[in-house]
Amino acid sequence: MRRRDLAFLALGIVVALALPRVLYSALALRILLWALFAVSVDLLLGYGGMLSFGHAAFWGGGGYAAALLAKTFELPFPLAALGGIACAMLLAAPIGYLAIRRRGIYLAMVTLAFAQMLFYVANEWRGLTGGENGVQGVPKILPGLSVGRTADFYYAALPLVLVGLFVAYRIVHSPFGHVLVSIRDNEARAQALGYPTQRYKLIAFVLSGGIAGLAGSLYAIGNSFASLDLLHWTTSGSAVLMTVLGGMGTLWGGAVGAAIVLLLEDSLSSVTEAPGVVTGAILIAIVLGFRRGLLPEAGRAIEWVALRRRGG
Amino acid sequence: MDLGYLSVQLFNGLVNGAFYALLSLGLAIIFGVLGVVNFAHGAVYMLGAFAAYLLLQQVGIGFWPALLLAPLGVALLGVIVERLLLRRVYGLDPLYGFLLTYGLTLFIQDAMRLRFGIQGQPYPTPTELSASVSLGVVGYPVYRLFVIAFSIAMCAAVWFLIERTRLGMVVRAATERGELTRALGIDVDRWVTAVFAFGIALAALAGVLAAPMRNVAPLMGSELIILTFAVVVIGGMGSIVGAVAAGFLIGALASLGAVWSPALENVIVFALMAVVLLVRPAGLFGAREAT
């Protein structure tokens, strides 16, 4: 790890620890978990070159599974989240297997469609999911500690989120991650070098789904509620928006994007019921104006300023 | 299984298919020439329905003139969007066009929601078509039959345009072999705005057709666009006939499947997509792997 990375790590942890002190705790928790969700999208988009427009399937699939486990068996929330991760990965395997048979824009459409299929299934399978009512009254349990208050739950969930982020970081900086990037850049060449590219892509898809499942599990338990919103296609869209806003291929950009979008939506919620007017306009501006995203653009700006100062 | 119910389901399926066909046809043409998958196609469909609704409410213009005027108006809006926004993402990875039009979708839908609320507005069925005909034992609204017939006629007209005119030749060539067409020195870009406006007009037309059947509401196109994407993946976007055929075929199959389990009508579309991806990843009518 380089010094710059260490500095960022320290900064990130300080921000994560301070967040519920600065904002109200429900918003802080939302930012924390959406940040992890967006990172899982970037793992696939930025490093595998696969735009999943259906990550709500794993966020929501994990969320429902964890909520049901926590409610039915009164499991401690880390165990329920483990179940949520498993469920998300089980969903990601067949969806990923089918989706990676197409590339680029088609892959985006396929993932969007399968996530919507899951939405319809959850809507109809009322016996399990409660349909429109969702799964309500999910308990937050941790033996020996009281985590019922959102602020307490935030600090209890933080280590799990950090593990999720660390796993994403390790994946990207492992030999596996490097092969993934080479597939993104030139799949035919990676294939010619003897890498089973389809298998690499599928594994990346399932891992990314698992991380999204962790985020969704904690989100559902943290809100004591799993609803159809978790699976809605705009949920996938928001995660992609955050990733692109922060900067794809930066891994942490999504976290920055998540914070910006959620803070914005929160401050808009008192003004309007239709935040899409603002978030939509932001996405348009990003695509047209600074395609690299905020994190890389900010990095360039800082370097530029530093260069000017050094030059005198 | 009684035959009356089956035929009602079949016709309902063809009605859905009529919308899939008009939408995926426009998507395919736009993608072929612009290289952009227009996520906002569902929002455009909604705008078409709203245009018809507003024409009736504000100006007193009825269904038949609206069938021409609403698509024209929305297409004009499309020209502005193409000139101002879309133009800047040509030649980039198609993902950027997808993201841009997704942003547009959010913007348009929520702007309409602010103005008109989330509730649906009713739109009257034109009186000439408000009767119903007998299908064996059960009645069936004439208007729905009209929608099927009109959509087929429209697709046939578009097919004629594309097969028999110079512009059609360019569109066909660009849709099926984009780079080669440009390499042969054909100026595809000259037609870009017109083609986009035309694709948009088709979606708006579908919206006008939908207005008397479905409530006119800001989110009416948001689920339809995802189903249309599934249709496009099944049919393959490289073929214009394929887009139309897949539209009707999938509409009918899903509705007939719904006889067996009504709740699963939409799920069947996605299940069909899964099967096609397994057996023939390029799509039923797609000849090559497009990226």
HSE of B271, CA atoms in CB hemisphere, 13 A: 11
Residue B30 CA, distance from chain mean position: 12
Contact between chains at A280 and B113 (C-beta distance less than 8 A): no
pLDDT tens per residue, range A1-25:
577 778 888 888 899 999 988 899 9
Task: Indicate if the pLDDT at residue B290 is higher than 50.
Answer: no
Q: Does B81 touch chain A (CB under 8 A)?
A: no
Per-residue pLDDT, averaged over B39-50, amounts to 96
| Number of Cβ atoms within 10 Å of the Cβ of B174 | 25
Chain A residue with minimum CA distance to B238: A106
Mean of per-residue pLDDT scores for chain B: 88
Residues 17-56 of B with CB under 8 A from A: 37
Spatial separation of the C-alpha atoms in residues B150 and B190, rounded to whole Å:
30
Helix (H) or strand (E) holding A105: helix A104-124
Q: Does A281 touch chain B (CB under 8 A)?
A: yes
Of A104, A121, A234, the CB nearest to B291: A104
pTM of the model: 0.92
Residues 258-277 of B with CB under 8 A from A: 263-264, 266-267, 270-271, 273-274, 277
Taking a C-beta distance cutoff of 8 angstroms, is the pair A13, A141 a contact? Answer: no
* Boundaries of every domain in chain A: 3-311
pLDDT at B287: 60
Q: Which residues of A81-97 are buried (b: 16+ CB within 10 A; e: fewer)?
A: bbbbbbbbbbbbeebbb
**Which is more confidently placed, A57 or A3?**
A57
Spatial separation of the C-alpha atoms in residues B18 and B248, rounded to whole Å:
6
pLDDT at A4: 76
pLDDT at A113: 92
pLDDT at A253: 92
Per-residue pLDDT, averaged over B42-52, amounts to 96
Bridge partners (DSSP) of residue B265 are none
Q: Is B35 left (phi over 0), alpha (psi -120 to 50) or beta?
A: left
Closest CA to A91 of A259, A250, A191, A212: A212
Domain A3-311, CATH number (from 1.10.540, 1.20.1440, 1.20.272, 1.10.3470): 1.10.3470
Q: Write out the two tokens for B11.
A: 């016709």
Chain A residue with minimum CA distance to B229: A109
* Own/partner pairs, A261-266, CB within 8 angstroms, 24+ separation: A261/A34, A262/A27, A262/A30, A262/A31, A262/A34, A263/A23, A263/A27, A263/A31, A266/A27
Amino acid identity, position B168: G
pLDDT at B289: 47
Q: Which residues of B246-264 are buried (b: 16+ CB within 10 A; e: fewer)?
A: bbbbbbbebbbbbeeeeeb
3-state class of A7 per DSSP?
A: helix
Contact between chains at B229 and A281 (C-beta distance less than 8 A): no
What angle, rounded to 10 degrees, do the helices at B142-164 and B166-176 form?
Answer: 90
Taking a C-beta distance cutoff of 8 angstroms, is the pair B86, B36 a contact? Answer: yes
Q: Does A93 touch chain B (CB under 8 A)?
A: no
- Spell out which residues of chain A touch residue B92, defining contact as CB-CB under 8 Å: 291
| Residue listed under structure tokens 């070159």 | A49
pLDDT class of B119 with cuts at 50, 70, 90: confident
Residue B129 burial class via C-beta count within 10 angstroms: exposed 0-12, middle 13-18, buried 19 and up: middle
Contact between chains at A283 and B222 (C-beta distance less than 8 A): no
Contact between chains at B291 and A51 (C-beta distance less than 8 A): no
Residue A25 — φ and ψ, nearest 5°?
A: -65, -30
Of B85, B95, B229, the CB nearest to A104: B95
Task: Indicate if the pLDDT at residue B31 is higher than 50.
Answer: yes
Q: Does A131 touch chain B (CB under 8 A)?
A: no
**Which is more confidently placed, A281 or B259?**
A281
Distance in Å, alpha carbon of B267 to nearest chain A alpha carbon: 5
Contact between chains at A108 and B103 (C-beta distance less than 8 A): no
pLDDT at A275: 86
Spatial neighbors of A156 by CB under 8 A, at least 6 apart, are: A77, A142, A145, A147
Closest CA to A106 of B231, B255, B192: B231
Q: Give, rounded to a whole angstrom, the gap between the first and last alpha carbons of chain B.
A: 44
Mean of per-residue pLDDT scores for chain A: 92
pLDDT at A287: 92
pLDDT class of A108 with cuts at 50, 70, 90: very high
pLDDT at B172: 78
Dihedral (CA of B162, B167, B173, B179) sign:
negative
Q: Write out the two tokens for B63.
A: 């269904």
- Picking from B83, B102, B222 by the largest number of A CB atoms within 10 A of its own CB, the best residue to mutate is B102
HSE of A118, CA atoms in CB hemisphere, 13 A: 30
Q: Does A280 touch chain B (CB under 8 A)?
A: yes
Closest CA to B189 of B290, B83, B109: B83
pLDDT tens per residue, range B172-211:
787 777 778 888 888 777 788 888 999 999 999 999 999 9
pLDDT class of B288 with cuts at 50, 70, 90: low
Q: Does B114 touch chain A (CB under 8 A)?
A: yes
Taking a C-beta distance cutoff of 8 angstroms, is the pair A200, A183 a contact? Answer: yes
Residue A108 burial class via C-beta count within 10 angstroms: exposed 0-12, middle 13-18, buried 19 and up: buried
pLDDT at B135: 73
Q: Does B280 touch chain A (CB under 8 A)?
A: no
- Spell out which residues of chain A touch residue B290, defining contact as CB-CB under 8 Å: 106
Closest CA to B109 of A204, A255, A279, A301: A279
Distance in Å, alpha carbon of B274 to nearest chain A alpha carbon: 7
Chain B residue with minimum CA distance to A98: B277
Spatial separation of the C-alpha atoms in residues B83 and A63, rounded to whole Å:
42
pLDDT tens per residue, range A160-187:
999 999 999 999 999 999 999 999 999 9
Chain A residue with minimum CA distance to B237: A106
- Spell out which residues of chain A touch residue B289, defining contact as CB-CB under 8 Å: 102-103
- Spell out which residues of chain B touch residue A201, defining contact as CB-CB under 8 Å: none
Contact between chains at B103 and A105 (C-beta distance less than 8 A): no
pLDDT tens per residue, range B59-101:
999 999 999 999 999 999 999 999 999 989 887 888 999 999 9
